[in-house]
Amino acid sequence: SQQGEEDPQALSIQEGENATMNCSYKTSINNLQWYRQNSGRGLVHLILIRSNEREKHSGRLRVTLDTSKKSSSLLITASRAADTASYFCATVLASGGSYIPTFGRGTSLIVHP
Amino acid sequence: EPEVTQTPSHQVTQMGQEVILRCVPISNHLYFYWYRQILGQKVEFLVSFYNNEISEKSEIFDDQFSVERPDGSNFTLKIRSTKLEDSAMYFCAITERVGGETQYFGPGTRLLVL
């Protein structure tokens, strides 16, 4: 399976701290995406990083991709209580014609005010 | 950003009953997807639908499932004879073009099969 697997499964931090979540995958990818899911709600796309990119930023989010290690990280800086959610990585295969993202199990982030 | 709505938000049904879940994109998109998420587990792909036909489906999408666009706007997922293990959140998603990389998800329908 080429699905991403997030690490850690759960993360609990204080407001203002940085949160780092990691994702590992097994096969070559076209791109890797991070999504956020608030409890009982749909997924919200956060950021997409392509296989030829190493780092992307969006506001307080920073995503890195290391294709040699088949891993990605999502860093949320200066976290807020409102960042409390589950975060999923999703990988899209490099070949085979399928654009369907395959999701990992997610990291549950709790930010304490 | 495209907006997707889903109805109903919650549905409780008896095992063996048929359910129809609806997805309504606000804008006229052609590329639809259904996913499910069993409580506490990962989001799983069910089926993609393009130009009024299934373009890709997973092993989960067996004969008890079907999809269609009955009136050109709504996109439905039908489960013919529900089983207890069908209890899950069902998400509709759209992309803005075929091979579009960003998926826009609806809020989901929580299905409970008793």
Per-residue model confidence as pLDDT tens digits over A62-89: 999 999 999 999 999 999 999 999 999 9
Give the range among A63-67, B5-9, B39-43 with minimum mean pLDDT. B39-43
Contacts B104 to A, Cβ<8 Å: 45
Contact B42 A105 (CB under 8 A): yes
User: Exposure string (b/e) for A52-80, b if CB count within 10 Å is 16 or more?
Assistant: eeeeeeeeebbbbbebeebbbbbbbeebe
Residue A4 contacts residue A104 (beta carbons within 8 Å): yes
Spatial distance between the Cα atoms of A62 and A57, rounded to a whole number of angstroms = 5
| pLDDT, position A55 | 97
Give the range among A3-12, B65-74, B94-103 with minimum mean pLDDT. B94-103
Q: What percent of chain A lies above the pLDDT cut of 90? A: 74
> Closest Cα of chain A to B99: distance in Å?
6
Residue B22 contacts residue B107 (beta carbons within 8 Å): no
- The answer on pLDDT for B96 being more than 90 is no
